[in-house]
């Protein structure tokens, strides 16, 4: 992580160790590594905290995608600001992330013994190209201008909200204040996919995708897939996730094998917004 602690810049590292988190900090001005203590991260709320001996400093904040930010106290004085941005990460076959399923733990053991496996290599978020842009159209059969607008906010752990609306030239939502209002908002919370996926297994994920504003206009559905024909994650009844679902989804068919160095992406899609986990085939 690249960090800025009240204008002190440097880098920070975290790694799992004996079921907990270990970490260290390097500030350029001090020129040495320092051990961080009492590290915690809540995967559901995104809350993070840790302690630094120097200055008796306690840091609290939140993580959103590849960024963290918050405040810290130093020798009893509060209100100092800090930020951190993820620059790279490395995972090892000897351990699995805390959010991985039992099947991925099994895959980790297989990988370390030389068997073939898909290994999670990187993560990225891709916003929709039209996010926060007004798109003009015309009401059918007329010259009346209509404006479509879509906006996303929040994080994948705390509730990723996508709001869409159709407005008139006056920027008021069509049929505003009625059950027919042309607007909708969804909220999506996801858990991290497994670190390892073996060919022949059908991994499961936990998702929550809900419509949080009543509307007659169709809300964006959640679609999760491990790209390729018939590699979508489905609900226990075999149907697509759609909207207003909270629970487990499972890959509809067994994961395929790959070839050395090949990559494959596991993608969460909400409209044009995508959370993308890249896997690489290891042998």
3-state SS track over 75-117: CCEEEEEEEEECCCCCCCCCCCCCCCCHHHHHHHHHHHCCCCE
Band of the pLDDT at 139, cuts 50, 70, 90? low
Q: Which DSSP string corresponds to 40-66?
A: EE-TTT-EEEEEETTTTEEEEEEEETT
Band of the pLDDT at 103, cuts 50, 70, 90? very low
What's the whole-model pTM score? 0.59
3-state SS class at 18: coil
Band of the pLDDT at 265, cuts 50, 70, 90? very high
Q: How many Å apart are CA 165 and CA 175, to the nearest integer?
A: 11
pLDDT value of position 172: 87
Q: How does pLDDT run across 175-201, given as a tens digit for each residue?
A: 777 777 888 899 998 878 888 899 999
Q: How many Å apart are CA 209 and CA 107, to the nearest integer?
A: 28
Identity of the highest mean pLDDT range in 89-103, 139-153, 203-217: 203-217
């Amino acid at each position: 992580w690249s960090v800025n602690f009240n204008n002190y810049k440097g880098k920070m590292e975290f790694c799992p160790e004996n079921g907990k988190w270990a970490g260290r900090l390097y500030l350029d001005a001090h020129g040495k590594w320092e051990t961080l203590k009492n590290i915690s991260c809540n995967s559901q709320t995104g809350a993070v905290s840790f302690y630094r001996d120097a200055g008796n400093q306690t840091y609290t904040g939140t993580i959103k995608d590849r960024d963290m930010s918050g405040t810290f106290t130093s020798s009893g004085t509060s209100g100092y600001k800090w930020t951190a941005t993820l620059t790279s990460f490395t995972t090892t076959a000897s351990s699995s992330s805390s959010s991985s399923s039992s099947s991925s733990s099994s895959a980790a053991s297989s990988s370390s013994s030389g068997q073939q496996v898909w290994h999670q290599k990187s993560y990225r978020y891709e916003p929709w190209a039209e996010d926060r842009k007004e798109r003009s159209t015309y009401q059918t059969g007329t010259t009346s201008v209509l404006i479509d607008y879509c906006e996303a906010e929040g994080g994948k752990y705390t509730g990723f909200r996508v709001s869409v609306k159709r407005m008139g030239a006056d920027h008021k939502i069509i049929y505003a204040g009625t059950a027919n209002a042309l607007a909708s908002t969804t909220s999506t919370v996801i858990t991290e996919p497994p670190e390892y996926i073996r060919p022949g297994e059908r991994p499961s994920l936990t998702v929550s995708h809900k419509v949080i504003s009543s509307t007659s206009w169709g809300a964006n559905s959640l679609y999760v897939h491990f790209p390729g024909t018939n590699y979508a994650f489905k609900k226990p009844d075999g149907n697509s996730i759609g909207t207003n679902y909270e629970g487990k989804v499972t890959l509809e068919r067994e994961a395929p094998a790959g070839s050395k160095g090949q990559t494959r992406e596991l993608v969460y899609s909400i409209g044009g917004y995508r959370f993308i986990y890249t896997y690489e085939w290891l042998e």
